[in-house]
């Protein structure tokens, strides 16, 4: 890529060996904090979009999102079969 910044960013955390109650607590935290972050980014983006309307170089776009996924560990599922 020779000095070019990538057009994407991915950051994630992964944990296992948790109870359903623990996962539920993290999911609630992710939803609350994720929504606050989305609202903040949305507000900033709207302001910047309005100020960029007349700029002839306004040909960029982005997508930003929050996700949360959980399920039973494969080993635990296989042991129950």
Q: Half-sphere exposure of 47 toward its Cβ, with a 13 Å CA cutoff?
A: 6
Query: Residues 19-65: pLDDT tens digits?
Result: 999 999 999 999 999 999 999 999 999 999 999 999 999 999 999 99
Collapsed DSSP state (helix, strand, coil) of residue 2: coil
Rounded-to-10 torsion of CA 64, 59, 6, 68: 10
For the full predicted model, state whether its pTM sits above 0.85: no
**78 — pLDDT class (breaks 50, 70, 90):** low
pLDDT at 74: 81
pLDDT at 65: 94
Instruction: Provide the CA 37 distance to its chain's centre, in angstroms.
Output: 9
How many angstroms separate the Cα of 14 from the Cα of each of 11, 45, 73? 10, 29, 12
pLDDT at 4: 77
**81 — pLDDT class (breaks 50, 70, 90):** low
């Amino acid at each position: 890529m020779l000095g070019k910044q990538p057009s994407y960013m991915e950051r994630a955390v992964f944990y296992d060996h948790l109870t359903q109650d623990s996962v539920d607590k993290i999911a609630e935290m992710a939803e609350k904090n994720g929504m606050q972050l989305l609202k903040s980014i949305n507000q900033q983006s709207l302001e910047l979009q309005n100020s960029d309307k007349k700029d002839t170089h306004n040909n960029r776009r982005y997508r930003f999102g929050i996700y949360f996924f959980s399920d039973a560990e494969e080993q635990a599922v296989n042991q129950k079969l």
